[in-house]
């Protein structure tokens, strides 16, 4: 075996090349981590948003989209007949809600599409993850905002602070509170008093009724929707609803991967090219080492060692960059906001990418360099 110092010092033979290999592998690893983190983050928020104990009643035929769904007000009362509806202090966990998307304007004049939900205080019995962080539940002409709603709107957190004003059409609403619902899409929403949102959006029906049922009782809600044919309802378990939404985002994920793969391929070929050049410039030296008695396998090992050193340095750079650039970053998408987290699996994928780049990536240039016959390599210039 060649000494490790040989591989190490070879790295520094050409600082420009080293920079390219380290930089190229850092880019590839970072993209890999970003793609995995995006994928994970989206899955995580969708998985956290739905509870297996909640059932959403929607208008028949609008299972795909709550916004387009219409459910008459009486359903809320009728749903009280479903066996197994959970209740807290005598109040049943049934929440008729209006879901609405429309542009909203902040005090600074910034206008963007907002996810609005009109609820009564009962909603908190159904959406059990929701908790007020600051302020109070909204009354008339008031709203409470999810603590990530500012990311969805694309404004600073200050603009959605308690006491700030929001403009919806001609009417003005005051932010009464800020809530959290850890890891769910709800955190990007703006919650109105239901009657308030009904008049603002000129609706006289609900979008959905969500129920919280006792463990194992969700079938009852489905049975109810079936039996009360007259209400024209369709029941779907909340976790399944978000799962289905997830399928809708598959193409976006594929796009993310394709984009990441394309950029990574570019960086990879750039890196491979530098390795080709770096190794090719040493054909004669490697032939000399072979003439001394080093096997091609020993030389291959040293070359792989060398490239691994470079790509693992790149991986480390990617980890540090990822820590500052990716970790904790919130990414808005159509129905909410998800968070990129450098989970052990993201780190592991990055590491595997770095290792593969250094080992498998070094093989073609190394082999090409070791392939010529020894006499030929010795006379090459």
Binding residues (CB under 6 A) for ligand ATP: these are 375-376
Closest contact distance (angstroms) between CB of 14 and other proteins is 11
Q: Look at residue 13 and give the partner it binds from ligand ATP, other proteins, none, a contact being a CB closer than 5 to 8 Å depending on partner kind.
A: other proteins
CA distance 368 to 233: 67
Q: Look at residue 110 and give the partner it binds from other proteins, ligand ATP, none, a contact being a CB closer than 5 to 8 Å depending on partner kind.
A: none
CA distance 304 to 308: 6
CA distance 150 to 166: 12
Token pair in block for residue 58? 């929607």
Closest contact distance (angstroms) between CB of 284 and ligand ATP is 14
Q: Look at residue 249 and give the partner it binds from ligand ATP, other proteins, none, a contact being a CB closer than 5 to 8 Å depending on partner kind.
A: none
Closest contact distance (angstroms) between CB of 372 and ligand ATP is 9
Surface-to-core class of residue 214, CB atoms within 10 Å of its CB (0-12 exposed, 13-18 middle, 19+ buried):
middle
Tell me whether residue 68 or residue 379 sits nearer to other proteins (CB atom): 379
Q: Which residues bind other proteins (CB under 8 A)?
A: 1-3, 5-6, 9-10, 13, 284-285, 288-295, 373-375, 378-379
CA distance 208 to 63: 10
Beta strands in the chain (DSSP E): 54-59, 87-88, 91-92, 94-106, 111-119, 131-135, 142-146, 165-168, 171-180, 190-193, 208-212, 233-237, 330-333, 336-339
Tell me whether residue 331 or residue 378 sits nearer to ligand ATP (CB atom): 378
Residue identified by tokens 């052990």 is: 344
Tell me whether residue 1 or residue 320 sits nearer to other proteins (CB atom): 1
Partnered with residue 377 across adjacent β-strands are none
Closest contact distance (angstroms) between CB of 373 and ligand ATP is 6
Q: Would you say the C-alpha torsion 151, 156, 159, 162 has a positive or negative sign?
A: positive
Q: Look at residue 291 and give the partner it binds from ligand ATP, other proteins, none, a contact being a CB closer than 5 to 8 Å depending on partner kind.
A: other proteins
Closest contact distance (angstroms) between CB of 380 and ligand ATP is 10
Q: Look at residue 3 and give the partner it binds from ligand ATP, other proteins, none, a contact being a CB closer than 5 to 8 Å depending on partner kind.
A: other proteins
């Amino acid at each position: 075996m060649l000494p490790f110092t040989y591989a190490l010092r070879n790295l520094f033979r050409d600082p420009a090349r080293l920079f390219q290999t380290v930089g190229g592998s850092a880019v590839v690893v970072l993209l890999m981590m970003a793609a995995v983190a995006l994928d994970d983050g989206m899955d995580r928020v969708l998985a956290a948003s739905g509870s297996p104990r909640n059932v959403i009643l929607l208008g028949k035929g609008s299972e795909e989209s709550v916004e387009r769904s219409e459910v008459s007000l009486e359903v809320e009362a009728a749903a009280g007949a479903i066996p197994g509806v959970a209740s807290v202090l005598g109040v049943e966990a049934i929440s008729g809600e209006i879901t609405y998307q429309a542009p909203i304007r902040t005090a600074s004049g910034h206008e963007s599409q907002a996810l609005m939900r009109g609820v009564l205080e009962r909603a908190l019995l159904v959406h059990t993850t929701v908790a007020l962080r600051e302020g109070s539940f909204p009354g008339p002409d008031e709203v409470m905002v999810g603590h990530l709603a500012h990311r969805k709107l694309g404004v600073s957190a200050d603009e959605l602070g308690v006491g700030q004003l929001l403009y919806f059409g001609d009417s003005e609403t005051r932010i009464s509170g800020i809530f959290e619902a850890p890891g769910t899409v709800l955190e990007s929403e703006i919650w109105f008093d239901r009657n308030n949102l009904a008049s603002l959006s000129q609706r006289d029906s609900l979008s959905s009724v969500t129920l919280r049922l006792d463990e194992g009782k969700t079938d009852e809600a489905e049975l109810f929707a079936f039996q009360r044919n007259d209400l024209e309802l369709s029941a779907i378990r909340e976790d399944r609803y978000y799962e289905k939404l997830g399928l809708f985002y598959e193409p976006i994920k594929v796009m993310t991967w394709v984009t990441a793969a394309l950029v990574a391929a570019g960086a990879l070929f750039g890196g491979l090219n530098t390795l080709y050049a770096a190794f090719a410039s040493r054909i004669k030296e490697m032939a000399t080492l072979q003439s001394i008695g080093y096997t091609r396998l020993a030389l291959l090992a040293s070359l792989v060692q060398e490239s691994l050193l470079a790509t693992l340095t790149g991986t480390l750079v990617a980890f540090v960059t990822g820590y500052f650039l990716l970790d904790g970053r919130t990414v808005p998408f159509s129905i909410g906001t998800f968070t990129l987290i450098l989970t052990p699996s993201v780190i592991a994928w990055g590491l595997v990418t770095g290792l593969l780049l250094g080992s498998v990536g070094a093989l073609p240039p190394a082999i090409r360099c070791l392939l010529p016959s020894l006499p030929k390599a010795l006379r090459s210039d």
